[in-house]
Amino acid sequence: MSHFLFVAGTLRERSSPESASLQLTHGLWGCCSALIRDNLTTFLTPDSHALVYVLKAGICADVKIVSGVLPVQQMDEFLREDFKTEARFGFVRVALTKQWTSTPQESHRLLQSVLQIQDQAELTRRLSLGMHRLTDDEYRAILSSLP
């Protein structure tokens, strides 16, 4: 089973917390790159979840992924315009299951420990890709360690 760590980055249009909040409010998560779209298409399972990591805020939400990857054309035209950066390569529908407050420092320590990535630069590189695939064990370990 595959789970994912979605990373909300800062955009020209809005900050990373605003981007994450807006996507979660509308029950979707955008594929901002072809790599994310392709990896979701390949590894998504009916029981997949994702943790949302917001740059400069840390891990802040758990969502159940409730659709396959959908083309951006299936999004309402007003949302499509609003999410032109976040969802330019498609999107998945998500259902929020839990939210909490964390810090980047706590989140980095937790991710380094669970993912066994001791090099800070390597963790930063992986987060900058916008998504990281998690095994079921990694997902459960991270979830059980969050406040």
- CA separation for the pair 89, 108 (Å, rounded): 28
Q: Write out pLDDT tens, residues 7-23.
A: 998 888 899 999 999 99
Q: Write out pLDDT tens, residues 96-133.
A: 999 999 999 999 999 999 999 988 888 888 888 999 99
* Closest C-alpha among 41, 52, 37 to residue 5: 52
State the CATH class of domain 2-137: alpha beta
- Token pair of 135 as six digits: 């095994």
Q: Which residue has the tokens 């390597």?
A: 122
Q: Write out pLDDT tens, residues 18-62.
A: 999 999 999 999 999 999 999 999 999 999 999 999 988 999 999
Specify whether the backbone of 56 is left (phi greater than 0), alpha (psi in -120 to 50) or beta. left
Q: pTM for the complete prediction?
A: 0.93
